[in-house]
Amino acid sequence: MSASCNVGPRPAGMGGPRVTKGWQGVRRAKRCKPLPIMQRVCQVNARRLPMPLQTHPRDFHRFRATLLTGVLLSGGCMLAWSSTALAAEAAPGVPSDDAIYQHIEKLASLGLRMPGRAASRAASDYVYAQFTDSSLQRVAFEEAETLVWQASHWGLSVNGQALPCSPMQHTFHHGVPGPFSTGPQGVNAPLVYVGNGSAWDYWVKDVRGKIVVADVPFSKNSATLFKPFMLGLQDTANTFPWDYMLVDPYSGGDFPDNYYRAMKGGALGFVGILVDYADSHQYRNEAYDAYRPGKAMSMPALWMSPVQGATLVAQIKAAKPDGVQARLELEGQLTQQTGRGVYGYLPGMSDETVLIESHHDASTTQGAVEDASGAAEVMALARYFGQLPRSARPRTLMFATMDSHFTDYAVHRAFAQRHLREGNPSGDKVVAVVSVEHIGMEYLKGPDGGWRASGRLVPHALMVSAEVKGFKEIALNAMSRFGLERTFAVSTSLVDLVAGGTLPADSDDFWKVGLPVIAYVGAPLYLYDEADTPDKVARHDLNRVARAFASVVEQISALPSANFKRLPDKTAVH
């Protein structure tokens, strides 16, 4: 694919928004799975960040961890902010909970918001209209070609009996557009159970010519052990007791390494059992490394719920020597589609620019928390700042929402290339990025296997480029002053160290080209499930979050230019 660029304004008389065509670059997968801080520090052979830190898995690098010195919990440093910086706290112009929730309901009602679908185009059109109505200038679309995976048929039959299952997304392809199919007869082979699918499990089990069945547990990490490594914590109700475990919903245990081991061992198919999930098989997983050269997940694969999976494992263990015969079916296509982001500007007293962003696409039909809620917060912030006079904006503000978040991040890379790199063709001078994602309530796996509401907010990580003078204080100030409960702040440098060069947030590509960030990200267990519906949104915290990040943007905008610096560009090594 060749790069193309159309950077000029619309010719006179032409209707419709301006569209820029972006740089495609080398495709890479969804964020690679980082490793848990405490498990890294203890040099335990474990592979994931705790839930609030991990959002977008990307690389699978093990490294020899250097023992980290914990940053003890801070009481929260406070700077003497100007009256301008405090404006958002009581500003009547910050949209209400109900106003922000209406954006979420609208986006959730459109259908599956994936690139190439009418719902995705409708979502970007809606954001465009909201930006325009909020007085943003030069509102435009950013487009790039992206790979979209879609299954049209799947199934698993054991000894002639059909079992409930879902397709494992981003599997059964070779990284190039085209159809995939097991054929009308499916893949017929005996089942072999490999436990968690560790390297040892595969060493003692012959999987060649068989369909592998593996447990996929989610990583669990102690909140108590994690606390010393935080920059700060807002948890006035003490909802993280000593035995509270942070659950990582993004990738489980040894997955997808256990999938790749099955491929390498000559297996014909893979069935993952979501042992720590609610009793659901509707897990719309991340892309992981599936679109990176040499990392295509070329074997057909399915998900099973914990209850059905346990029954299947018991059947395999009780089988006679000739084993349990199964038929696995999967067909669909990998297509190239046009992804589309939306952006616009509010001029300030300086051409130095702060970017406020999230994404508007989702991997599930409604995608209310993931990430209609994040896009709604961006629209709310655009509305608030758009009503202020230019003199109240020390710096230019740029607002954006993206898609391709659940494909290969092509739009993000195109946007970074055109607007964020030093010397970019758009002439933008972005100095910082603020990201907001996943404003939801916590739901856990209940005793009956269903989703159980805890009545609390989902834990959030506030990832901060603390090497920029003032950023840490701004983040801690927002947490405490606005009561961002169940939120902990952590340095992006620490995340970088344990995650192998990845920031688990939608702004990862922007941070990678050297921009400092403040990223607010939650990770509820239901994030990739059809259970992600509007009732899961933390409706009565939407205005609170908007006010907090209006304050963050105002305080960043008031920092001296000398405070800002470009961080190392990480794209040269990825």
Block residue for tokens 């990392």: 295
Q: Residue 32 and residue 209: Cα distance in Å, rounded? A: 29
Q: How far is CA 226 from CA 137, 144, 231, 464, 479, in A?
A: 43, 39, 11, 17, 18
pLDDT of 94 reads 95
220-222 vs 245-247, strand pairing mode: antiparallel
pTM recorded for the entire structure: 0.84
Domain 90-144+337-573 CATH assignment equals 3.30.470.20: no
Block residue for tokens 């992981």: 288
Q: Residue 170 and residue 284: Cα distance in Å, rounded? A: 10
What is the mean pLDDT of each successive set of 10 residues along the chain, which is 574 residues long? 36 44 38 39 34 36 28 32 44 88 98 94 98 98 95 95 96 94 96 96 96 92 84 95 83 82 98 94 84 89 97 93 91 96 98 97 93 97 97 98 89 95 95 98 91 95 96 98 96 84 88 96 93 97 98 98 93 62
Helix 542-557 vs helix 97-108: crossing angle, to nearest 10: 100
Q: In terms of CATH architecture, what is 148-335?
A: 3-Layer(bba) Sandwich (3.50)
pLDDT of 56 reads 38
Furthest C-alpha separation in the chain: 79
Determine the straight-line distance between the first and last CA of the chain, rounded to whole angstroms: 19
Domain definitions of the chain by residue range: 90-144+337-573, 148-335
Q: Residue 408 and residue 87: Cα distance in Å, rounded? A: 39
pLDDT of 291 reads 83
Q: How many CA atoms lie within 13 A of 367 on its CB side?
A: 27
Structure tokens at 83: 């009256």
Q: DSSP 3-state assignment of 132?
A: helix
